[in-house]
Amino acid sequence: MEKIKDALAKAKIENTESKSQFKAETKASSTLLQSGVVSQKEIKSFPNTENELGMINYLNTPVIKLDSAHLEKNRIVAQSKSDVNSYSFDSLRTQILQKMEENNWRTIAVVSPTPQSGKTLVSINLAISIAQQPQKTAILVDFDLRRPKVAAYLGIHTEKSMNDYLQDKAQLKDVMINPGIDRLVIVPTMKPVSKSAETLSSKKVTSLIADLRERYNSRIVIFDCPPVLNSDDAMVLLPQVDCVLLVIANGMSTQSEIEETLHHLPKENLLGIVLNKAEIESKAYYY
Ligand SMILES: Nc1ncnc2c1ncn2[C@@H]1O[C@H](COP(=O)(O)OP(=O)(O)O)[C@@H](O)[C@H]1O
Ligand SMILES: [Mg+2]
């Protein structure tokens, strides 16, 4: 934990010193984001709330009901109001939506320095939490093309997915799924994609990102991304999105990895930092 704090301090983006940051910490054995760190301010209103919200129709979008036991096992908690951890994601959502609203941001890349930091977990829980706001819709796109996990964590199996879309074998509408949660759409990637950096910088993906952003003002688009330091993939995506949420897991990245990541990220578009697995001090995880 100290190492993360040191790295953040060194990079001069410590939460308390910057109004533009928030910090959320997750506890050791669960996805719990520490309450008290994220403030509980309520969102008062959203300009540009659109008619489309009430009219989003899933007639052409297959509904795949999620299995609650599978979700729980995979630490997907935001949909469960009886799970105290869901409040933490609601707080995170509130902070994020306020900042996005202020800046007219609608697309978020969720990144981390290295793998296994909790990006996918945070992306899914955040998307569910945002969709629970009646004024917003959320779409979660699995853009970790090397290690796609969204479908597995949600327990979704589909015939058509991002893989087919990228190969021109399906249209976007054919690869969207409603997971039985109102105002939430998932675009899963079922298999790793070769030449992922080239794919993510292709015209097809660039126009997909723009299209997802522009279609509805009320829609928040969350891209579950690859880690920043392991490939070019995240660096290719970052200029294409409005803002970045950085997930740092205690013990999963070294201090220098965190610092290097922060140098790569555009500070003005840094939505915030989630400190995950904050109370684990397991030296075994350090590289
Ligand atoms: N706060 C947490 N507490 C316990 N386990 C966690 C936490 N966050 C993530 N994990 C676990 O760590 C692993 C990596 O999480 P994942 O979201 O797949 O990371 P990434 O997408 O960054 O590679 C998963 O097994 C996940 O269940
Ligand atoms: Mg992941």
In whole angstroms, what is the distance from residue 92 CA to residue 74 CA?
19
- Domains of the chain by start residue, with CATH: 2-38+58-281 (3.40.50.300)
Backbone angles phi, psi at 82, to 5 degrees: -85, -10
Whether ligand 1 lies within 6 angstroms of the CB of 253 is answered as no
Q: What share of the chain is helix, strand, coil (3-state, %, to 5)?
A: 40, 15, 45
The Å distance, Cα 225 to ligand 1 centre, comes to 14
Whether ligand 1 lies within 6 angstroms of the CB of 85 is answered as no
Name which of 141, 155, 114 is nearest 220 in CA terms: 141
Structure-model confidence comparison of residues 236 and 61, the more confident one: 236
**Residue ID of nearest Cα to ligand 1 atom 26:** 118
Whether ligand 1 lies within 6 angstroms of the CB of 23 is answered as no
Name which of 224, 108, 131 is nearest 184 in CA terms: 131
Is it the case that residue 262 has pLDDT exceeding 60? Answer: yes
Whether ligand 1 lies within 6 angstroms of the CB of 250 is answered as no
The answer to whether residues 110 and 274 touch, using CB atoms and an 8 Å cutoff, is: no
Note the pLDDT tens digit of each residue in 197-254: 999 999 999 999 999 999 888 899 999 999 999 899 999 999 999 999 999 998 889 9
The Å distance, Cα 102 to ligand 2 centre, comes to 28
Note the pLDDT tens digit of each residue in 79-127: 988 888 888 899 999 999 999 999 999 999 999 999 999 999 999 999 9
In whole angstroms, what is the distance from residue 147 CA to residue 191 CA?
8
Structure-model confidence comparison of residues 278 and 206, the more confident one: 206
Q: Give the whole-number percent of the chain exceeding pLDDT 70.
A: 76
Whether ligand 1 lies within 6 angstroms of the CB of 71 is answered as no
Coil vs helix vs strand at 175: helix
Atom of ligand 1 nearest to the CA of 28: 3
**Residue ID of nearest Cα to ligand 1 atom 17:** 118
The Å distance, Cα 225 to ligand 2 centre, comes to 7
Strand partners, 36: none
What's the predicted TM-score (pTM) here? 0.84
Q: Which two tokens stand for residue 115?
A: 């793998």
Is it the case that residue 42 has pLDDT exceeding 50? Answer: no
Quick one: pLDDT at residue 152? Answer: 97
In whole angstroms, what is the distance from residue 68 CA to residue 66 CA?
6
The Å distance, Cα 16 to ligand 2 centre, comes to 28
Quick one: pLDDT at residue 5? Answer: 66
Q: Which two tokens stand for residue 93?
A: 């959502």
Q: Give the whole-number percent of the chain exceeding pLDDT 90.
A: 67
Whether ligand 1 lies within 6 angstroms of the CB of 119 is answered as yes
In whole angstroms, what is the distance from residue 42 CA to residue 259 CA?
32
Atom of ligand 1 nearest to the CA of 144: 21
Quick one: pLDDT at residue 2? Answer: 63
**Residue ID of nearest Cα to ligand 1 atom 3:** 30
* Other CB atoms within 10 Å distance of the CB of residue 160: 17
The one-letter code for the residue type at 267 is K
Structure-model confidence comparison of residues 45 and 254, the more confident one: 254
Average pLDDT over residues 8-33: 40
Return mean pLDDT, the chain: 82
